[in-house]
Structure 1
Amino acid sequence: MTIALFRDDAYVQDGQATVSALTPEGGIVLDATVFYPTGGGQPGDSGRLEWTGGALNIATTIKGSDQDIILVPAEPAPLPPVGVQVTQRLDWVRRHRHMRVHTALHLLSVVIPLPVTGGSISAEKGRLDFAMDEPPADKDALEEALNALIEQDLQVTDMWITDAELLADPSIVKTMSVMPPTGQGHVRLVRIGDALKQVDLQPCGGTHVARTSEIGRIRIGKIEKKGRMNRRVAIHLD
């Protein structure tokens, strides 16, 4: 099992690790990683690995079996041997933009308080699909409400609850299409705001900024019809 260093601190940009395995497809498994794997609509991280006598670029990161995290090289190149120590260097600019977009999407689900049917994240924009029969009447008002939340400089933190606690309160799950993974005994929740002024609380395994002001101003893009009861709302980093 790869230790997910990004889960304890999403701001770690580099670190040492040991190669624990190489996959038949040429992927690299480390004993601990700062690289986030594709999941929850958020792309896998990219960056670079360096070791004595070698280096290679990482194109993306994916989940493997048994909670392994696999780093995928960007091009054919000699791989670091199993057991060697490597230095991980995250493409921080790209990751931080993912964190800004991801946190903004949580806030979008606050200003549009409807069930979420899907979503995706990139370094420039993101989108959520909502169970919505009609588009919002005033897109400008929606954009202003979203940015007003961002400007409150709310704290973003996480906490863990048990599988049983999640099942006892399914209202905190906003996604209709994908349930949070259970079976490990606990589920991670991301909170925006604090106990006195909580704006949002929902299960999420992704990476987020520490305070909403870090997101910057957001622009609402296209609102598209994606089925009789579905609307896709795009946001863009300004």
Structure 2
Amino acid sequence: MSVHTMETLTLFNNEPYRRAFSAMVIAVVDNAVVLEHTLFYPTGGGQPGDTGHFTLADGTRIEVIGTVRDPLLPSIIWHQVQHCPPHLCTGAMINAQLDWERRYQHMKMHTCLHLLGAIIDAPVTGCSISADKGRLDFDLPEMTLDKDSVTRDLNALIEQAIPVTTLSMPASEYPALLETTGSKTDKPPAIQGELRMVEVIGIDIQPCGGTHVQNTREIGRVFCDKIEKKSRTNRRVILRFE
């Protein structure tokens, strides 16, 4: 199969809580593997790529140490493996398992950052997520943020057990949504003219390709660890789980 005709079907957006799957290998290059479909989220939107492991038919275990999209053909997802045995080849069937605890932490923090963006009235200029913390950068010239207030307001939203849903909308409708919702992203990526939107019902709606929890209460308690001045107009807000 030519690399130009390959495509990885993504399972993680529709099944973010699923932890294991089986798939056929469609490409192997050095220590990187492409599967016909995958639950492994590839690095993007501030969310790290998933890790986990593959198991071959003979019981061989292969550690997956990262997941990325192809830089030239983003429909292809590469699973970076620690060591690629000679018998892992195109056409082989594998069983795959996510490092679920790590992924679930990413899901909780990603949703929490959407809440943070909703309570701070300023454009978002950067984002980063890890298993124990997350941060957003805001275009905010004046230092008007307070750690205790951010912590209090976030936990108040989390405790409301607000549903989180996804939907698709035509990219052409996004400018109107931007005006009515105060969405912080003005140039979201579109796939075949459609945007994947993540909505915290009644609180926030944003274009996002990441994985999220279904209810804000799943996030648990968080606290604002630090607010940093990164430049004259940039403020970084760092959150951690309690």
Name the SS of the counterpart of 2:140 in structure 1: coil
* 1:113 counterpart residue number: 121
Among 230, 233, 236, which residue is 1:229 paired with?
Answer: 233
**Contact 2:147/2:226 (8 A) holds in 1:** no
TM-score w.r.t. structure 1 length? 0.92
* 1:37 counterpart residue number: 42
Name the SS of the counterpart of 2:12 in structure 1: helix
Could you tell me how far apart the structure 2 residues matched to 1:22 and 1:33 are? 15
Structure 1: which 5+ residue stretches go unaligned? none
**Cα-to-partner distance string for 1:185-229 (whole Å, 9 max, x where unaligned):** 211000102xxxx11100000001110000000110111011111
* 1:152 counterpart residue number: 160
Count of aligned pairs: 231
* 2:3 counterpart residue number: none
For residue 165 of structure 1, report the CA deviation from its aligned partner: 1.5
TM-score w.r.t. structure 2 length? 0.91
Whichever residue aligns with residue 227 of structure 2, its letter is: I
For residue 117 of structure 1, report the CA deviation from its aligned partner: 0.6
**Cα-to-partner distance string for 1:137-182 (whole Å, 9 max, x where unaligned):** 5321221011000000000110000121224444454136xx3212
For residue 77 of structure 1, report the CA deviation from its aligned partner: 4.0
RMSD value over aligned CA atoms?
1.5
Name the SS of the counterpart of 1:6 in structure 2: coil
**Cα-to-partner distance string for 1:4-49 (whole Å, 9 max, x where unaligned):** 10010100100011111123x4310001101000000000000000
For residue 136 of structure 1, report the CA deviation from its aligned partner: 3.1
Could you tell me how far apart the structure 2 residues matched to 1:170 and 1:110 are? 13
**Contact 2:123/2:138 (8 A) holds in 1:** yes
For residue 134 of structure 1, report the CA deviation from its aligned partner: 2.2
**Contact 1:118/1:175 (8 A) holds in 2:** no
Q: Percent identity?
A: 44
Among 51, 66, 73, which residue is 1:46 paired with?
Answer: 51
Whichever residue aligns with residue 33 of structure 2, its letter is: I
* 2:219 counterpart residue number: 215
**Contact 1:135/1:223 (8 A) holds in 2:** no
For residue 133 of structure 1, report the CA deviation from its aligned partner: 1.4
For residue 80 of structure 1, report the CA deviation from its aligned partner: 1.8
Q: Does residue 1:203 correspond to 2:203, yes or no?
A: no
Q: Does residue 1:124 correspond to 2:132, yes or no?
A: yes
Structure 2 counterparts to residues 133-212 of structure 1, below 5 A: 133-171=141-179, 173-175=183-185, 179-193=187-201, 198-212=202-216
**Contact 2:185/2:207 (8 A) holds in 1:** no
Whichever residue aligns with residue 6 of structure 1, its letter is: F
Structure 2: which 5+ residue stretches go unaligned? 1-6
Whichever residue aligns with residue 20 of structure 1, its letter is: I
Whichever residue aligns with residue 96 of structure 2, its letter is: Q
Whichever residue aligns with residue 146 of structure 2, its letter is: D
